[in-house]
Structure 1
Amino acid sequence: MKEVAQIGVSADEDGIRLDRWFKRRFPALTHGRLEKLLRTGQVRVDGARAKANARLAAGQTVRVPPLGEEIDTPAPKPERALNDKDAAFVRSLVIHKDKSLIVLNKPAGLAVQGGTKTERHLDGMLDALAFEAAERPRLVHRLDRDTSGVIVLARSAKSAAALGRAFQQKDARKIYWALVIGTPAPLQGTIDLALAKQGGPRAERVSPADAGDEDAQHAVTHYSVVTSVSTKFAWVAFMPVTGRTHQIRAHARAIGTPIVGDGKYGGVTAHPGGEIPRQLHLHARSIDLAHPDGGRFFIEADLPPHMKKSWKLLGLEERDAEGAFEGLEE
């Protein structure tokens, strides 16, 4: 790298500190030299000066000056082995494709990224979605493994930066559908409840944060009951304002109506039995955001098979969700 490079922040780097981002990308770069580069403005994030402890967001761009041949070669990424079956599978998930983005309807049970004991995941299949583009698409946001629905991919660094800004600036309106146990009261409202990870930063489960908790993260979710089924179930539309780990699941539990199939947060209560499937009933139904090429972009994703079954069993009609958030200030 003999010239200045502009490197995009990937989805798996979302939330990482700038100094740790450099340590991961350029392990031979010393902290002292990085601090000097930051003080002199040679390293910038989206064109602005930044400090070592700045948190990066997916889609942002880091300006990296020449670091020297012994330092500036990024650590090689492991080669991905993608079989024909997985390639065909991930292509079957595509519900929209244009020159700047791809949208998938992710099935429940498919992890977005790898981890301990997770070898098959969406990120490992993205090479199959390059199509005519020169590079593989990039993840710009995530869904839980057991959450189905809309997930947007950027087809270039420029698109990733634009989409990353849309998510960071809360210019992406996401609607989730869920089947919950009981009925929230009131029928429409906003859950403003900070969350903190249990067991430290690497833990997955979150819970309402105690006052003064240093690890607390601001979390806000709008909700609206679409239909109640007796006193046992309710179909609820959720609109998260922030994007915390397990936010909707934790917020649904906090107001006393855990999501059906969510044993992690609802325990045995979340599994009503009978013909209702035991899978998590949470689906990213739609997204409305600024398209990288201009204008607004809106798309919906069909319900997964297990939720379609429950909707049929309970006599729920998808058209009933129209205008669910009318009258609720965002």
Structure 2
Amino acid sequence: MTIADQPANSREEPPVPLLYRDAMMLVIDKPAGLPIHRGPQAKRRVIPVLTDHLDALRFGLPRRPEAAHRLDKDTSGCLVLGRHPRAMTELNQLFRDGRIGKSYWAIVEGGPAEDEGLIDLALGKQSPERGWWMKVDPAGLPSQTRYTVRGRSAGLAWLELEPLTGRTHQLRVHCAASGWPMLGDEIYGSAPREGGPGLQLHARAITVPLYRKRDPVHVEAPPPDHMHEALRSCGWA
């Protein structure tokens, strides 16, 4: 049975929104602004990170769950957690093999001329000093993103994005390099460092073919509050 938007039952409210739970994995709705790990920026300031909450997501198991993939700090939405080592091994293999379907919603400035298409631009690191910041680089790693325009308004477009590869900041760099940066992107767009609208990128849905004799698990996350205004202007209801 395919599972979409199915909340997991639990006696206590989880520390982050829980979208799905079974014996192998959890899918949470990661809030925008919550880093997954305590990286260099989180170490310099006392800010919460996802790993602070993992003990509360054990749900009776002896081990804490682990994130099976990454989402940027400012990206909200579906994040898969493996509940034990065997689950992590299987999930990691599915991600490596490209068998997990991922769909993102984004609001971009301007927008593509065509209503659908493929962005095929190799990506590499900007420089050692820039850490994870990326750029289009013909000598970099092959990177592909499929896009569909879901709606438009004056100066904005609502895109559904499907990353066919999993490079760091891939969706943000691909959109910016195509001439339509994401609204609220402080690195690759025009958003100010302070007081901006927040990054308009949301991991809307994920499809995980984890079980051989069952349909893939499909989970969707509702868009975050800070994207509602722009989404509505582009036709979302």
Give the TM-score taking structure 1 as reference length.
0.63
Instruction: Find the aligned partners of 1:248 and 1:150 in 2 and give their Cα distance.
Output: 16
The aligned counterpart of 1:264 is: 187
- Where relative contact order (Cα < 8 A, 6+ residues apart) is larger, the structure is 2
* 2:220 matched residue in structure 1: 300
Residue 110 of structure 2 is matched in structure 1 by 182
- Check whether the contact 1:162–1:292 (CA below 8 A) recurs between aligned residues: no
Matched, 1:249 2:168: no
Q: Give, in angstroms, the shift of residue 293 of structure 1.
A: 6.6
- Bigger fraction of residues in helix: 1
In structure 2, relative to structure 1, the CA distance for the partners of 1:266 and 1:315 (3 Å cut) is: closer
- Correspondence 1:127 to 2:50: no
1:221-259 alpha-carbon deviations (Å, 9 max, x no partner)? 1001111113x1110000001111100000000110000
- Are 1:284 and 2:164 matched, yes or no? no
Distance 1:94 1:203 in 2: 31
| Corresponding residue to 1:227 among 116, 128, 151 | 151
Select 2:74's aligned residue among 122, 140, 146.
146
Q: How far did 1:315 drift?
A: 5.5
8 A contact 1:163–1:292 mirrored in 2: no
Distance 1:310 1:147, change over 3 A: same
Alpha-carbon distance between aligned partners in 2 of 1:264 and 1:114, rounded to the nearest angstrom: 20
Given the superposition, is the C-alpha separation of residues 173 and 317 from structure 1 closer, same or farther in structure 2, using an over 3 Å criterion? same
Is 1:166 the counterpart of 2:97? The answer is no
The one of 35, 40, 46 aligned to 1:116: 40
Query: Matched residues in 2 for 1:292 and 1:114: separation?
Result: 32
CA distance in 2, matches of 1:90, 1:267: 35
Structure with greater Cα Rg = 1
Deviation at 1:123, TM superposition (A): 1.9
Unpaired segments ≥5 residues, structure 1? 1-87, 319-330
Distance 2:165 2:225 in 1: 28
Alpha-carbon RMSD: 2.2
8 Å Cα contact 2:152-2:235 kept in structure 1: no
Hey, what's the Cα distance between the residues in 2 that align with 1:141 and 1:152?
Answer: 7
SS of 2:222 mapped into structure 1: coil
Q: Does residue 239 of the first structure (1) align with residue 167 of the second (2)?
A: no
Corresponding residue pairs, total: 220
Larger displacement relative to structure 2 (120-129 or 220-229): 120-129
> Distance in 2 between the 1:137 and 1:289 partners?
17
Q: Residue 237 of structure 1 aligns to which amino acid in structure 2?
A: E
